[in-house]
């Protein structure tokens, strides 16, 4: 037994900590939790520590510490959280203490930032001053260096083109300022796993019994014959320990590799005038890093420029507070997230010289967690453990009674115990053998392999899913995905290739064919279009000096429009230098548009808008025709709407470009005024409407069909025009025919959002396509579907998708286009952004359940057979046909080797022809044995 008894007779789990009284316990549990049965669970995503403790205390009856060794260590988790709070509160003290601790290994001087020989190197500013300025947010120190521009000169960085970025330059910077890595605590060694594996209480009792049996055997029968029983038990126990430790160690290595992959964030930096993607570990001091909504700040730094830049610093300060950054508050902390706006930062501190590096170096990341299936199987193991313990006690009582009443005989017919004649040593030896048999029955009866099999199967699935382009962030997502009944998928990039090109363009009422032929347009219109595209963009155009191919970076939509403008004759760098950006309204997924205010060389202030065509069109009062003349849009609005609809029917994404002049007196004159300035978005002049082609991914139609055949309904939730969404849905097979495309099967987000909660729940089941949806609409749909009993998987890539990803049973973020905020909120990252990979995840999830079914049937068959044979034999003959050594070998095979064999079986195609498991998992069992019925009833509670 791995616990102790409290005063009221209830058992407590040593790991979970002292048990609370009932009133206290109930007040700390989830309000929806049913405390009458701790294994009656409906939702384990983000379970509270109290709930986890409750599961442990309920699973205590036998071997709880051994059973939960595969999952989260609650004590260590609590210590980690306390350490985080301590670091946040006493960052400088912790810094000095940690540096002192690491001094021997790294050559660090106590109480100073990490330095390497020749700290300043070729640079005019040293690491100590940089670290002090950034850590203490000393604005005066930054001003002494001449502001950001002066600091960049000291760091040999061009704020426009970044660092040179060749191998020599990078090496010099890493030598002078360190690399963006931090010392990590080593994982547990194999010997540590061995130490933990043998500390199971029942195994310790067996070792003691084997020692006594070995000593008495050698004493009574001599060394040559007397070591058999005790030595055999020792060998069997040793094998159980080694195999258990080996499987645990392999899992640990697997989880470490997955964590390393999860931490290796790819981000964009400016080097040599071009935007390049690098690993977060390769960021160096002096790097210029563009930031946009959803990005993680990769290192400590100062703001170069930004517009409405808001940072979520809760990961460092512990407070859920958004901090706006400007020239008065320019310091950025590593590990924080960009909540809003855009900006550029200059890196001033990396790795251990940042608070985030210190935080990560001081804590170890635990990967264990309880999954729904593990929790239920722990309930089953507890139930069977009680049965096994009862059987073992019964066998012990029967054998002892028969022995001491003289009913037990040797093979030659002589009684083993005769009162007054049998000496103490012989009687003690016989009693030890009987006790060893009873303990061995307990070891065999308790199905420790159930939770182990789940962990093994999940670990195996996680590794294989990596090969299928899916990185699992939460262990339970593997099994939950097998229960999914509906998938709410994005369109762009998931169902489509996300390789966009402009294939149609309307300027005024004239369709430009081909769309990039500037000769069909007057110079004034081309100039305005180029200005709007170049300045109202987070993308970049790099023209190599040697005359190589032009490189265009940015989101797929930005790249498509920039490429179109380049073909029209746009000189990106010249236009950017000719006009000055006054204020930026970053693209907003709620409003579906973004804008920029700029002042040209002629001192005119123009505001350019770009966004969803029909939404921008509603704000337009005029348009420029193909001759460059301004026309009223009132009479021609229907023409433009028809043009947009026609493009949408052809599955094109429609984007409108518009602008307006702004009176100088309405433009703020200081930075404070700009921060509160809302760009005018009425009386716009329409410049152009472009249709962007984004073809469906190859194989996505087959993947959707597989889902449909498997009973998993695929729903498309997109921000695109309803007609575009319908066209893509028909092409992908989400809609079977155009006749099906009627409300509410296909619906707009605003219509769905205006319904009452009850109406939403009723209509959600019927929705197949939702167009022009905002992130809040997606969240409402997920909530409505979950209330209706669906197990919902959701794909998303934007920062605003985070609530829906968090709310869903399984959140699937995109590895290529997904923001860091979206990835942090998700359970699985789809590395290739492909819907076909989502289907593979469903397949692996179902494989988990299939493998567990096989293992439970195998284990229960062996368990029941061994228990029944021993009980019947003990009662009828006073002896057991399966001795301790044999039972231990059976335990080794069915608990550990059986789990390894059955839990690592790959999925078959037949799995996708079954109905989804849903929220309740029932194990089909062909046998009618009462124990199975009880076990399965326990399992599905």
Indicate if the pLDDT at residue 9 is higher than 60: no
- What per-residue confidence (pLDDT) applies to 98? 53
Residues of the chain with CATH 2.70.150.10: 119-181+281-363
pLDDT band at 109 (very low <50, low <70, confident <90, very high): very low
pLDDT band at 30 (very low <50, low <70, confident <90, very high): very low
Mind giving me the DSSP string for 645-697?
HHHHHTTEEEEEEEEEEE-GGGS-SSHHHHHTPPPP-SSEEEEEEEEEE-PBP
Q: From CA 504, how far away is CA 516, in angstroms rounded?
A: 9
Backbone angle region of 372, left / alpha / beta, with phi > 0 → left and psi within -120 to 50 → alpha: alpha
Mind giving me the DSSP string for 295-310?
-B--SEEEEEEEEEEE
Give SS3 for 3.
Answer: strand
Across-strand partners of 303?
345
Count CA atoms closer than 13 A to 481's CA, side-chain side: 35
User: Is residue 475 within 8 Å of residue 782, measured between CB atoms?
Assistant: no
Q: From CA 835, how far away is CA 717, in angstroms rounded?
A: 13
Kindly report, residue by residue over 253-306, the tens digit of the pLDDT.
Answer: 766 776 777 778 889 999 988 889 899 999 999 999 999 888 889 999 999 998
Kindly report, residue by residue over 517-528, the tens digit of the pLDDT.
Answer: 888 999 999 999
User: Is residue 163 within 8 Å of residue 286, measured between CB atoms?
Assistant: yes
Q: From CA 334, how far away is CA 176, in angstroms rounded?
A: 19
Task: Indicate the range of 442-451, 533-542, 729-738 predicted with least confidence.
Answer: 442-451
Indicate if the pLDDT at residue 498 is higher than 90: no
User: Is residue 160 within 8 Å of residue 274, measured between CB atoms?
Assistant: no
| Mean pLDDT confidence for 611-616 | 93
Residues of the chain with CATH 3.40.1110.10: 501-693
- Is there a catalytic annotation at residue 490? yes
- What per-residue confidence (pLDDT) applies to 631? 92
Taking Cα atoms as reference points, which of 581, 484, 492, 490 lies closest to residue 538?
581
β-bridge pairing 713-717 and 486-489: parallel
The rounded mean pLDDT for the chain is: 79
Determine whether 429 is exposed, middle or buried from the number of CB atoms within 10 Å of its CB (0-12, 13-18, 19+): buried
Indicate if the pLDDT at residue 471 is higher than 60: yes
Joined tokens for residue 475: 């262990």
Q: Compute the CA torsion angle 273, 275, 280, 285 (nearest 10 deg).
A: 20
Alpha helices (H) along 165-227: 167-177, 190-197, 201-226
Taking Cα atoms as reference points, which of 155, 184, 134 lies closest to residue 284?
155
User: How far does Cα 535 stand from its chain's mean position?
Assistant: 35
Contacts of 854 (CB under 8 A, 6+ apart): 902, 905
Active-site choice (490, 694, 790, 797): 490
Helix (H) or strand (E) holding 110, with range, is: none
Percent of the chain having pLDDT more than 70? 78
Percent of the chain having pLDDT more than 90? 27
Give SS3 for 130.
Answer: helix
Q: Could you tell me what percentage of the chain is helix, strand and coil, using 3-state DSSP and rounding each to the nearest 5?
A: 50, 15, 35
For residue 51, CA distances in Å to 9, 10, 320, 370 come to 21, 17, 24, 10
- What per-residue confidence (pLDDT) applies to 933? 45
Residues of the chain with CATH 3.40.50.1000: 473-497+697-833
- What per-residue confidence (pLDDT) applies to 452? 66
As a whole number of angstroms, the longest Cα–Cα distance in the chain is: 123
- What per-residue confidence (pLDDT) applies to 166? 87
User: Is residue 791 within 8 Å of residue 484, measured between CB atoms?
Assistant: yes
Q: What angle do CA 622, 628, 629 make, to 5 degrees?
A: 50
Count CA atoms closer than 13 A to 222's CA, side-chain side: 2
Give SS3 for 912.
Answer: helix
Query: 119-181+281-363 in CATH: which number?
Result: 2.70.150.10
State the residue for tokens 């993308």: 539
User: Is residue 144 within 8 Å of residue 129, measured between CB atoms?
Assistant: no
Query: 473-497+697-833 in CATH: which number?
Result: 3.40.50.1000
Indicate if the pLDDT at residue 110 is higher than 70: no
Length of the chain: 941
β-bridge pairing 288-291 and 337-349: antiparallel
| Mean pLDDT confidence for 773-796 | 91
User: Is residue 690 within 8 Å of residue 552, measured between CB atoms?
Assistant: no
Across-strand partners of 811?
794
- What per-residue confidence (pLDDT) applies to 743? 84
- Name which CATH class applies to 191-254+372-457+845-940: mainly alpha
Indicate if the pLDDT at residue 925 is higher than 50: no
Joined tokens for residue 830: 């789809």
Q: Which CATH fold topology does 501-693 show?
A: Calcium-transporting ATPase, cytoplasmic domain N (3.40.1110)
Kindly report, residue by residue over 131-172, the tens digit of the pLDDT.
Answer: 888 877 888 888 888 899 999 999 999 998 999 888 889 988
Contacts of 400 (CB under 8 A, 6+ apart): 431, 434
Classify residue 579 by its DSSP letter.
S
């Amino acid at each position: 037994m791995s616990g102790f008894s409290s005063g009221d007779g209830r058992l407590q789990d040593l790991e979970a900590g002292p048990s609370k009284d009932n009133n206290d316990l109930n007040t700390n549990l989830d309000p929806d939790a049913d405390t009458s049965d701790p294994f009656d669970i409906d939702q384990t995503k983000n379970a509270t520590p109290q709930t986890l403790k409750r599961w442990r205390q309920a699973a205590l009856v036998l071997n709880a510490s051994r059973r939960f060794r595969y999952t989260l260590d609650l004590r260590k988790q609590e210590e980690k959280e306390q350490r985080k709070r301590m670091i946040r509160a006493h960052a400088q003290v912790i810094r000095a203490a940690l540096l002192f601790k690491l001094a021997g290994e790294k050559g660090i001087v106590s109480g100073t930032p990490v330095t390497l020989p020749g700290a300043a190197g070729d640079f005019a500013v040293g690491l100590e001053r940089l670290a002090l300025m950034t850590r203490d947010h000393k604005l005066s120190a930054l001003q002494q260096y001449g502001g950001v521009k002066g600091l960049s000169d000291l760091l040999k960085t061009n704020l426009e083109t970044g660092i040179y970025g060749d191998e020599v330059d990078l090496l010099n910077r890493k030598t002078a300022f360190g690399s963006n890595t931090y010392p990590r605590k080593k994982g547990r060694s194999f010997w540590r796993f061995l130490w933990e594996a043998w500390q199971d209480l029942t195994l310790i009792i067996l070792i003691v019994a084997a020692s006594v049996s070995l000593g008495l055997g050698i004493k009574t029968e001599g060394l040559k014959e007397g070591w058999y029983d005790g030595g055999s038990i020792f060998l069997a126990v040793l094998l159980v320990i080694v195999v258990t430790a080996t499987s645990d160690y392999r899992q640990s290595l697997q989880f470490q590799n997955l964590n390393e992959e999860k931490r290796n964030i790819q981000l964009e930096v400016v080097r040599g005038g071009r935007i390049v993607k690098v690993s977060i570990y390769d960021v160096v001091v002096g790097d210029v890093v563009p930031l946009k909504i959803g990005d993680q700040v990769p290192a400590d730094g100062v703001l170069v420029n930004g517009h409405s830049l808001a940072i979520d610093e809760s990961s460092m300060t512990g407070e859920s507070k958004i901090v706006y950054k400007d020239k008065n508050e320019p310091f950025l902390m590593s590990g924080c997230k960009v909540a809003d706006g855009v900006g550029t930062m200059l890196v001033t501190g990396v790795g251990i010289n940042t608070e985030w590096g210190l935080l990560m170096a001081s804590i170890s990341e635990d990967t264990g967690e309880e999954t729904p299936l593990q929790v239920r199987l722990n309930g089953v193991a507890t139930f069977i453990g009680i049965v096994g313990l009862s059987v073992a006690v019964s066998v012990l009582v029967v054998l002892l009674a028969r022995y001491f009443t003289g009913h037990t005989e040797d093979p030659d017919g002589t009684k083993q115990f005769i009162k007054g004649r049998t000496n103490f040593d012989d009687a003690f030896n016989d009693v030890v053998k009987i006790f060893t048999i009873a303990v061995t029955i307990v070891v065999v009866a308790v199905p420790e392999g159930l939770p182990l099999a789940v962990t093994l199967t999940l670990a195996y699935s996680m590794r294989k899913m990596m090969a299928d382009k899916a990185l699992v962030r939460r262990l339970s997502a593997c099994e939950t995905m097998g229960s999914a009944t509906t998938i709410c998928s994005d369109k762009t990039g998931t169902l489509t290739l996300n390789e966009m090109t402009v294939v149609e363009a309307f300027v005024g009422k004239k369709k430009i064919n081909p769309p990039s032929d500037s000769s069909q347009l007057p110079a004034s219109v081309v100039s305005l279009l180029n200005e709007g595209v170049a300045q109202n963009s987070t993308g970049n155009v790099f023209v190599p000096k040697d005359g190589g191919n032009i490189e265009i970076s940015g989101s797929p939509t930005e790249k498509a429009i920039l490429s179109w403008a380049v073909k029209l004759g746009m000189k990106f760098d010249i236009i950017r230098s000719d006009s000055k950006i006054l204020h930026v309204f970053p693209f907003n997924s709620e409003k579906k548009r973004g804008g920029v205010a700029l002042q040209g060389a002629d001192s005119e202030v123009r505001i350019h808008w770009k966004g969803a065509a029909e939404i921008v069109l509603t704000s337009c009062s005029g348009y420029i025709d193909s001759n460059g003349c301004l026309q009223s849009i009132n009479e021609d609005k229907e023409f433009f709407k028809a043009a947009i609809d026609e493009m949408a029917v052809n599955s094109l994404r429609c984007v409108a470009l518009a602008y307006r002049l702004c009176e100088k007196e309405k433009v703020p004159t200081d930075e404070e005024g700009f921060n509160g300035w809302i760009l005018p978005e009425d009386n716009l002049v329409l410049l152009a409407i472009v249709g962007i082609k984004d073809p469906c991914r190859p194989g996505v139609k087959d993947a959707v069909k597989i889902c449909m055949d498997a009973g998993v309904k695929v729903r498309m939730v997109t921000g695109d025009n309803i007609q575009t969404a319908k066209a893509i849905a028909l092409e992908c097979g989400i809609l079977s025919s155009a006749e099906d495309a009627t409300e509410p099967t296909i619906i707009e987000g605003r219509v769905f959002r205006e319904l009452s909660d009850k109406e939403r729940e009723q209509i959600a089941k019927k929705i197949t396509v939702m167009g022009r949806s905002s992130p809040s609409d997606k969240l409402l749909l997920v909530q409505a579907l979950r209330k209706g009993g669906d197990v919902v998987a959701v794909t998303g890539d934007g920062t605003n998708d985070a609530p829906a990803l968090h709310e869903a049973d399984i959140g699937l973020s995109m590895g290529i286009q997904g923001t860091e905020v979206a990835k942090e909120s998700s359970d699985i990252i789809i590395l290739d952004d492909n819907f076909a990979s989502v289907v593979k995840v469903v397949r692996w999830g179902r494989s988990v359940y299939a493998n567990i079914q096989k293992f439970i049937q195998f284990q229960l068959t062996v368990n029941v057979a061994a228990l029944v044979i021993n009980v019947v034999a003990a009662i009828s003959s006073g002896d057991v046909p399966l001795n301790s050594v044999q039972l231990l070998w059976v335990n080794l095979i069915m608990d550990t080797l059986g789990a390894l064999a059955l839990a690592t079986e790959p999925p078959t195609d037949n799995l996708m022809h079954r109905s989804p498991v849903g929220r309740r998992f029932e194990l089909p069992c062909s046998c009618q044995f009462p124990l199975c019925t009880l076990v399965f009833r326990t399992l599905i509670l």
